[in-house]
Chain A
């Protein structure tokens, strides 16, 4: 039996031993946190320096690519306004993402549970994924009106597919030996699902959720482009129209930050949900 599952059982049955395991990972977690933030930050600063150098060396004009200094000035001066606009985008992203998870995981369970459902539904899902959401987003505004709904729908549609695909993969990759053992011990279907199938699928599901959350940000922005008077998508549209490139890049930076923060939150939840998995024992943050 794989180590991870052993520990999971141990955690539930013997709290003392489980606590030790948790305490160990907690200390390691703090250590990794400190190291984890510094390296990407250093790399980011190197990129910014490179960007500035490229502008100087190649004489790139400000109406094509803004200088990092101008972008930083906008971020510094317009911070409260940009933050206020970031809120509707974040809300739409999170709502869309939660919908993707709520609908995606049960959909994957259905697909794995029944060959019939899989053969009818799965190919259509793949087909629908290739439909460019930016083309149908205006229709959402026609059907549901202006406001939050088209944004949330857009975020949901973009984030749905990765969750389903990875959850299906996760549910399908249980070792047959494990299932045989469980059946030999007379476990019923619900017990098999709860004790074996779901924990086994969680690593794959979380991996899909991480991809999905970053796509949900894109979806929310697409929704805002198409029909909204608020949010970072609105700021992007307006600054592009006015040739205000520093503002446009500042909005892009903020959108990326939202993606990073949401990704990190999902990562933290993953850490809490499946601390026993091999991927959690390794020494890098923000990657799995």
Chain B
């Protein structure tokens, strides 16, 4: 009898926890400044207020995470949307339900004291790239827009770690990376400032990271997706006003996630990227049709994306689940 009462009591206590939906969000890479809003939202209870028990996992590249979401293993992913489109055009059942970075964070960066500030300074230098990643595909467009040729500089290829090592150790002058990611890692390792030449400053308009989900999951859990996005929008808005606290939230969840100063600086570099470059969109995660059309045009011409993506564009993203 006593045991029955204890069991009953346990079930009552577990009640509220049972009511919250357990949801996993897989990030595009190991955690860095850009991911602060999600950690901040979880810590501040924005997700819990919408009945969501959020778990954040670190992924191993947008391509892999897009495939994981396509397979249904994880409901939400935070990945580079053009990379997701590559998978979608091959039939992967994924869709972007909220595009976070509407200005892209791609850049070519090197130590600030090397004084490489303009594209013309790249001539004669050594650039480290990773074959097959998103930046290496848009790089030829950047060269075209800035009047550079492949023969103007040396290229070395390696994986993500090798790229960082190459710049840190002087084997390369520059690397292709995101303004808030590798720059901060290099600063953590060497204490020196890094100057990024941003692709977006040279007329390259394409979106970057966004929240994606499986299309079947979207049909079955439309309400959950709405609540998740509402909580995410609030997280982004609040985090943008409290950058340092948001960065601290990363460290509270993941003490080895980096250093507070560089995580804060990284997130502060991310905040301007939430804005649409043509000013056509005003809320976080709500992307304009023009921006997406520009993105697909760039991807088809330079990113090797199948041309039929242009016709199916509306299948790859939707703003319908964002808060009104």
Contact = CB atoms under 8 A, between A and B. Distances in A.
Contact of B158 (A139, A227, A238, A241): A227
Interface stretch (B44-52, B87-95, B174-182, B279-287): B87-95
Contact of B166 (A64, A139, A141, A240): A141
Given A237-B132, A239-B132, A241-B133, A227 B87 contact: no
B171 interface: yes
B67 A234 contact: no
B67 A64 contact: yes
Contact of A64 (B71, B130, B157): B71
Contacts of B136: 241
B132 A227 contact: no
A36 interface: no
Nearest to A229: B157
User: Which 3 residue pairs spanning A and B have beta carbons closest together?
Assistant: A241-B132, A227-B158, A238-B132
A254 B195 CA distance: 42
B165 interface: yes
Which of B131, B133, B161, B304 gathers most chain A CB within 10 Å?
B131
B162 A141 contact: yes
Nearest to A141: B162
Contacts of B130: 237, 241
Contact of A234 (B61, B90, B131): B131
Interface string A56-71: 0000011110000000
Interface of B: 61, 63, 67, 70-71, 86-87, 90-92, 130-133, 136-137, 155-159, 161-162, 165-166, 169, 171, 304
A210 B61 CA distance: 35
A64 B87 CA distance: 10
Contacts of A243: 63, 86-87, 90
A146 B156 contact: yes
Contact of B162 (A64, A226, A234, A239): A226
Interface string A123-140: 000000000000000110
A242 B157 CA distance: 16
Interface in A200-240: 225-229, 234, 237-240
A137 to B, nearest CB: 8
A145 interface: yes
Interface in A11-61: 61
B248 to A, nearest CB: 30
Nearest to B134: A241
Nearest to B169: A142
A240 B304 CA distance: 13
Contacts of A62: 90-91
Contacts of B87: 63, 243
A141 B158 contact: yes
Given A145-B171, A226-B159, A241 B166 contact: no
A226 B70 contact: no
A138 B304 CA distance: 29
B176 to A, nearest CB: 13
Given A63-B70, A237-B159, 8 more contacts: A138-B159, A142-B171, A146-B158, A146-B166, A227-B159, A227-B166, A237-B132, A241-B63
B174 to A, nearest CB: 15
Which of A63, A141, A225 gathers most chain B CB within 10 Å?
A63
26 contacts: A61-B90, A61-B91, A62-B91, A63-B67, A63-B87, A64-B70, A138-B158, A138-B165, A139-B165, A141-B158, A141-B165, A141-B166, A146-B166, A225-B159, A226-B161, A227-B157, A234-B157, A237-B130, A238-B132, A240-B63, A241-B132, A241-B133, A242-B86, A242-B137, A243-B63, A243-B87
A138 B90 contact: no
